[in-house]
């Protein structure tokens, strides 16, 4: 498997690059994070589990880490993709090869070691349990059991761990470019004394993700997005620039 070879220089460059790409391709990136998630005890690791509907998913994990958290970011990427883009290992990525069952066990073990390693910052793993990009409204939602296995394995090495749902939607509203909405859930805490039913936890994560995706869609449709903070503002679209020009020259 491919393991993490973290580089602060690469992380700084990628942070700049990802913001540049979001400004270029999106009208805005809006994020909602409850205070409970911001107030997590950083002495415990956290797993952010996310729906996987867009090519952009790996980009905004870095963006949110920089904007909201003081964390060591880890992210799992399919082996075939990480081989092509090895520089992601410099940002905290390591590989998973589902075609080789033995390496899946190795990845779970490695993930738990990363999460339980000593650090001044909170260790955070971003994972997309669907295992592939699927339509944002796919139903039923189906996850692999790997996330629950990582939680259980990590609890054998540390006294506690958080699990946080993150859902995303890209929507076209009133602008030429789309808007990205990211919604974090409240943290669920597990202690080392908790018995983790991997299958049961996976099914619960599926239901929570589907529920929160539906809730996010309803909020966007109803315009109830006042609790979302804009962390990236894109360039003005052509229609807005034309409107300003017409206003300056007195055209209606």
Which CATH number does the domain housing residue 75 bear? Answer: 3.40.1130
How far is the C-alpha of 53 from the C-alpha of 4, rounded, in Å?
Answer: 25
pLDDT at 235: 79
Would you say residue 3 lies in a domain? no
Are 55 and 106 spatial neighbours (Cβ–Cβ below 8 Å)? no
Are 77 and 107 spatial neighbours (Cβ–Cβ below 8 Å)? no
pLDDT at 101: 86
Q: Mean of the pLDDT values across residues 54-58?
A: 91
Q: In angstroms, how far is CA 207 from the centroid of its own chain?
A: 18
pLDDT at 237: 62
Largest Cα span, the chain: 70
Would you say residue 2 lies in a domain? no
**Helix, coil or strand: residue 221:** helix
pLDDT band of residue 199 (cuts 50, 70, 90) is very high
More confidently predicted of 183 and 58: 183
pLDDT at 247: 63
pTM of the model: 0.92
Would you say residue 1 lies in a domain? no
Are 55 and 22 spatial neighbours (Cβ–Cβ below 8 Å)? no
Range of the domain at 153: 8-249
Would you say residue 198 lies in a domain? yes
Q: Mean of the pLDDT values across residues 19-47?
A: 97
pLDDT at 241 over 60: no
Number of folded domains in the chain?
1
Would you say residue 150 lies in a domain? yes
């Amino acid at each position: 498997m491919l393991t993490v070879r973290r580089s602060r220089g690469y992380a700084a460059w990628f942070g700049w690059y990802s913001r540049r790409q979001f400004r270029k391709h999106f009208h805005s990136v809006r994020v909602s994070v409850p205070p409970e998630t911001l107030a997590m005890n950083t002495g415990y690791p956290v797993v952010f589990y996310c729906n996987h509907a867009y090519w952009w998913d790996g980009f905004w994990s870095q963006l949110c880490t920089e904007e909201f958290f003081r964390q060591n970011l880890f992210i799992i990427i399919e082996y075939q993709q990480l081989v092509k883009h090895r520089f992601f290992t410099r940002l905290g990525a390591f590989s998973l090869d589902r075609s080789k069952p033995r390496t899946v066990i190795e990845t779970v073990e490695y993930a738990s070691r990363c999460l339980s390693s000593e650090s001044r910052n909170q260790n955070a793993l971003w994972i997309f349990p669907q295992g592939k990009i699927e339509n944002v409204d796919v139903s039923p939602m189906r996850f692999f059991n790997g996330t629950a296995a990582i939680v259980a394995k990590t609890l054998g090495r540390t006294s506690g761990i958080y699990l946080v749902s993150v859902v995303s939607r890209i929507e076209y509203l009133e602008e030429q470019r789309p808007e990205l909405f990211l919604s974090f859930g409240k943290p669920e805490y597990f202690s080392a004394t908790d018995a983790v039913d991997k299958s049961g936890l996976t099914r619960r994560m599926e239901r929570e993700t589907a529920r929160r995706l539906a809730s996010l869609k309803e909020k966007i449709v109803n315009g109830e997005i006042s609790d979302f903070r804009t962390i990236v503002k894109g360039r003005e679209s052509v229609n807005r620039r034309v409107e300003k020009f017409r206003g300056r020259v007195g055209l209606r």
